[in-house]
Structure 1
Amino acid sequence: MQIRPFRPEDTEAVIALWQDAGLTRPWNDPHKDIARKLAVQPELFVVAVDEDERVIGSVMAGYDGHRGWMNYLAAADDARGLGVGRALVAHVEAALLALGCPKVNLQVRSTNSGVVDFYEHLGYRNDDTVSLGKRLIED
């Protein structure tokens, strides 16, 4: 497995990965999410590929000068349990730390206990906060 920056030719494979992992929602256009990420800190959007260059994982990260964020972490079904997700998290944590980022945040749907367990195993803890959001652009 190799972790490398996202390339435009990875788009359809990454979107399929997100769809298989249940990360997409009707109100978010993944093509627009990718375009937005490529406009801001594109170096923090990475994929994991196997020896055949098949995309087997992805993650987007960002740093606003106060906190880092991780989004769209996914591993292919046939790559789960092989350390792909763990490697992607470690990669973006190191990149964020190199930028001086003191803390990384992420959001997990409360019903997704398996993913919560995954992150807790990596040292993440519930911040006991309320996540609020407001859509500024309708997709």
Structure 2
Amino acid sequence: MCPDAATGTLAPMPWDRTRLTADGFTGWIRISDLPRADVPSGAGVYVVVRENTLPPRFRATNPGGRASEKDPTVPVAELREAWVDGAEVLFVGRATRGVGKRQGLAKRLAELRRFGLGQTGNHWGGRYVWQLADSDDLLVAWKETGEADPEEVAAQLLARFEVDHGQLPFANLVRGSATATQLPQIRAARVEDIEEVVELWTRAGENRGRPADRPDLVRLLIERDPEALLLAVDDGVVVGSVIAGWDGWRASLYRLAVAPEHRRRGTARLLVGRAEARLKAFGASRIHAMVLEENQDGHGLWQALGYTPQPDWRRWVKATR
């Protein structure tokens, strides 16, 4: 395996109230209580949080306001697909600097509340949160950004969340502008990627100590399970890979590899997060990762992701050709 090295990779961030408070977020009030809160009028970022750990229930219709007569209702199946298990943060937003008492964060959060009450308003983003059956209990917290650009700060938060969870927060439908340049796209491999994937594995050291991979075998993998081989693609170039294998009984991760020049950027964590989401969707309750004993850098990353070695068994191999 050739994942990002442990030194310099981003540690997983607990997206909960304790961690965010330590990071400078304050407020932590119900959205319905915003009119009675002393929300600052400066520029900043804010989060919508659900502290309830029970599985979500969704309304069939969204009570939020209409934007240009558009209905904010989303099919429940789409909401379930967007849900991020284990993350209390549902939405990350930002407010530009304003003038006057009800500007900046104060104005933007007031728009959020009014939209949830069904009033026509300028807060179409984040509309998914209002279709939660317990949306009345959602909390909001904020953080002023001072001289920093709130769009850049929000984009960095979204990038960090996507690295940790393999996808954006539940109600964030698009990346911030800065995020789009910070993280590669994660997608399934295509037949036309095969030569580039094999070349990546060679450069990343994935073929060291064993027979080189053959393009025809990679093609067989793609044809058998088109979603198994996940790639990280940066500006059209394949810079990372992982195989998320599911045989109906066991879930396994193989060939986590990142191009040397793209390491220590969170690419491996993003790949693993997306692979885990795929395997969990199949019903996997435990995931095995194949990690070379000599890959000490990789051991640190896997441990940071919550994986532990199993000392009580060893993998046995038999060549068939």
**Shared fold (TM-score greater than 0.5)?**
yes
Structure 1 CA distance, aligned partners of 2:212 and 2:200?
15
Q: Does 1:102 align with 2:285?
A: yes
Q: After the TM superposition, which parts of structure 1 deviate over 4 Å for at least 4 consecutive aligned residues?
A: none
Q: Does 1:39 align with 2:232?
A: no
Superposed CA RMSD:
1.5
1:42 is paired with a residue of what secondary structure?
coil
Q: 1:29-108 residue pairs with structure 2 within 5 A?
A: 29-50=213-234, 52-108=235-291
Q: What is the Cα deviation at residue 36 of structure 1?
A: 2.8
The answer to whether the Cα contact below 8 Å between 2:191 and 2:222 also exists between their aligned partners in 1 is: no
2:221 is paired with a residue of what secondary structure?
helix
The letter of the residue matching 1:64 is D
Structure 1 CA distance, aligned partners of 2:310 and 2:210?
28
- Relative to structure 1, is the Cα distance of residues 97 and 31 closer, same or farther in structure 2, using a 3 angstrom cutoff? same
Partner of 2:195: 12
Q: What does the per-residue CA deviation read over 1:84-131, in whole Å, with 9 as the maximum and x for residues that have no partner?
A: 110000001000000111111122221111111111111110011211
- Relative to structure 1, is the Cα distance of residues 130 and 26 closer, same or farther in structure 2, using a 3 angstrom cutoff? closer
Aligned length: 136
**Sequence identity, in percent?**
35
Higher Rg:
2
Structure 1 CA distance, aligned partners of 2:247 and 2:292?
23
Structure 2 CA distance, aligned partners of 1:18 and 1:28?
9
Q: What does the per-residue CA deviation read over 1:25-77, in whole Å, with 9 as the maximum and x for residues that have no partner?
A: 54243314312311322212111111x21111111111112211111111111
The letter of the residue matching 1:35 is R
Partner of 1:113: 296
- Gaps of at least 5 residues in structure 2 are 1-183
Structure 2 CA distance, aligned partners of 1:10 and 1:4?
11
